[in-house]
Structure 1
Amino acid sequence: MNNKPQLRTVNVTRYITPLREGGSLPALAEADDDFNYVLKFKGAGHGTKALIAELLGGEIARALGLPVPELVFANLDEAFGRTEADEEIQDLLQGSQGLNLALHYLSGAINFDPVVTVVDAIMASKIVWLDAFITNVDRTFRNTNMLIWRKDLWLIDHGASLYFHHSFSDPEGHAKSPFALIKDHVLLPQASLIETIDTEFKVLLTEEKIRSIVALLPDEWLQWEELELSPDEIREVYTKFFLTRLANSGIFIKQANDARQALI
């Protein structure tokens, strides 16, 4: 049985509406499989690196058994968007020709509200561990990046993870960093079982699993003018980052537990 992660590729057929203001301007779009998707554009502010973080963060979460909407590669044809009246959106669409990334749209979902929904210690610890591992700065009270859909919790928006790759300097040093920003995590007060979860997740995140997730990154997203590295060499940097961080998980676990003690 082949358990390697795979992403479907869809063709975007209709731009429906921008989803919110902000640098990335994600959009609700329809694809040729008749499903709606939240479309993330490679032509937006952080370019393909935001898509890389979205894909790697989302698929690592899925490998750990956490609920994430299906991710797909979303192809934008060169003719797409020419009739768009908004010049900013037209520029975004024209600058995003080729492969983008999209999440299955959870119709009717509502934003997670920590005041309304209580997350148990096991799930909270899993999500805090994930975000400390992938250095996700964006799961705070201000912006929880979680949805409630059909009474279940879903994780979205991992594009702000792996911030080391914006400079790509000293990835090993970043891999061994404690990630101080975990102190702002919306679920940190409930995350009392991080050490237990660490043992469980290290069994799931084998080197083979990590390599198979990183292998999903298309060459098209790894053509970086600022680096003289091939796509395969860039993939290897990501792989080594994850493996090093996993081997040194005690560093970010201690940081999370210390920050939690300061809160409670």
Structure 2
Amino acid sequence: MYNNEIRTVNMTRYVTPLREGGSLPAIVEADDGFDYVIKFRGAGQGVKALIAELIGGEMARQIGLNMPELVFIHLVDTFSKSEGDEEIQDLLKFSEGLNLGMSYLSGAITYDPLVSIADPLAASKVVLLDSIITNIDRTHRNTNLLNWNKALWVIDHGASLYFHHSWNGWEDHAKRTFPMIKDHVLLSKATKLDEANNLLKELLTPDIIEGIVSLLPEDWLSDPSIDASIEERRKVYTTLLNTRISNLDQLTKEAKNAR
């Protein structure tokens, strides 16, 4: 069973927006004394981006990739009242409650495929993970990778699991391959796909996936527009991920052909 717990902290100060992100993430301080990059529930894709972020991030951690600690960040509406920027003011107002934060890696630099180094096994793990979670946002244009302390770190999985933006037809989505893997920034360095395949099968068991999905807060899964209970929605995520992992040989073959 997956035994990683997600801590909950309270935001104490809004430091600065990170305007390179379309959803206006920001650096904030929390009451545990640390800085975090916060992803707001009131941003464009709402809690669905946070769901994808948590699932993708914790799956990355489980398979041994470097992934900053994720925390739930509780935000109260008082912060919006002292913010001068109207766009940020609205974002803070609509993000009251539980948001998702990622430890801020001070001094980290964006991965550059022309000069940065990526271990072949780590690159292969990232490629197959992104095939499983259908992450469309790890390309040369936007790598969503960092180099920190001479190591590769994965960040930002919010564009994954895009089936849940329409929800209908998730069964078909679970069985599909992922042709967009041909555009993956690490594909050329993913020379150990077979080894990564075996490792992911060993580490991403049904119990592990169930444990990761169980971390999702109930209010993130509450959606009156979808005719499904919270537990039914949780089961969809679990079933979809387990189905895609069971098809990992096919996803691996697709990635190898794309190379």
TM-score (normalised: structure 2): 0.97
C-alpha displacement of 1:178 = 1.0
Measure the CA separation in 1 of the matches of 2:184 and 2:2.
31
Amino acid at match of 1:161: S
2:138 alignment partner in structure 1 = 139
Measure the CA separation in 2 of the matches of 1:127 and 1:23.
23
1:109 alignment partner in structure 2 = 108
2:122 alignment partner in structure 1 = 123
Contact 1:54–1:157 (8 Å) recurs in 2: yes
Measure the CA separation in 2 of the matches of 1:148 and 1:22.
18
C-alpha displacement of 1:78 = 2.5
1:250 alignment partner in structure 2 = 249
Q: Secondary structure at the match of 2:167?
A: coil
- Alpha-carbon displacement from aligned partner over 1:116-171 (angstroms, at most 9, x marks no partner): 12323211111111111111111111111111111111110000011111111221
2:49 alignment partner in structure 1 = 50
1:37 alignment partner in structure 2 = 36
Contact 1:53–1:158 (8 Å) recurs in 2: yes
2:166 alignment partner in structure 1 = 167
Measure the CA separation in 2 of the matches of 1:247 and 1:189.
24
- Residues matched between the structures, number: 259
Deviates more, 1:102-111 or 1:114-123: 114-123
Contact 1:177–1:251 (8 Å) recurs in 2: no
Measure the CA separation in 2 of the matches of 1:234 and 1:37.
28
- Alpha-carbon displacement from aligned partner over 1:46-92 (angstroms, at most 9, x marks no partner): 00000000000000000111100000000001322211001110100
Contact 2:63–2:199 (8 Å) recurs in 1: no
**% identical equivalent positions:** 57
2:240 alignment partner in structure 1 = 241
Contact 2:35–2:103 (8 Å) recurs in 1: yes
Contact 2:2–2:207 (8 Å) recurs in 1: no
**Superposition RMSD in Å:** 1.2
- Alpha-carbon displacement from aligned partner over 1:198-230 (angstroms, at most 9, x marks no partner): 111111111111000000000111111220211
Contact 1:175–1:245 (8 Å) recurs in 2: yes
C-alpha displacement of 1:3 = 5.2
1:156 alignment partner in structure 2 = 155
Measure the CA separation in 2 of the matches of 1:57 and 1:40.
14
Amino acid at match of 1:90: Q
TM-score (normalised: structure 1): 0.95
- Alpha-carbon displacement from aligned partner over 1:25-65 (angstroms, at most 9, x marks no partner): 00010000110000000000000000000000000000111
Q: Secondary structure at the match of 2:114?
A: coil
Measure the CA separation in 2 of the matches of 1:200 and 1:39.
31
1:206 alignment partner in structure 2 = 205
Q: Secondary structure at the match of 1:80?
A: helix
2:99 alignment partner in structure 1 = 100
Unaligned runs of 5+ in 1: none
C-alpha displacement of 1:12 = 0.3
Contact 2:2–2:211 (8 Å) recurs in 1: no
Runs of 4+ in 1 over 6 A off after TM superposition: none
1:232 alignment partner in structure 2 = 231
Contact 1:172–1:244 (8 Å) recurs in 2: no
2:73 alignment partner in structure 1 = 74
Measure the CA separation in 2 of the matches of 1:169 and 1:181.
21
1:88 alignment partner in structure 2 = 87
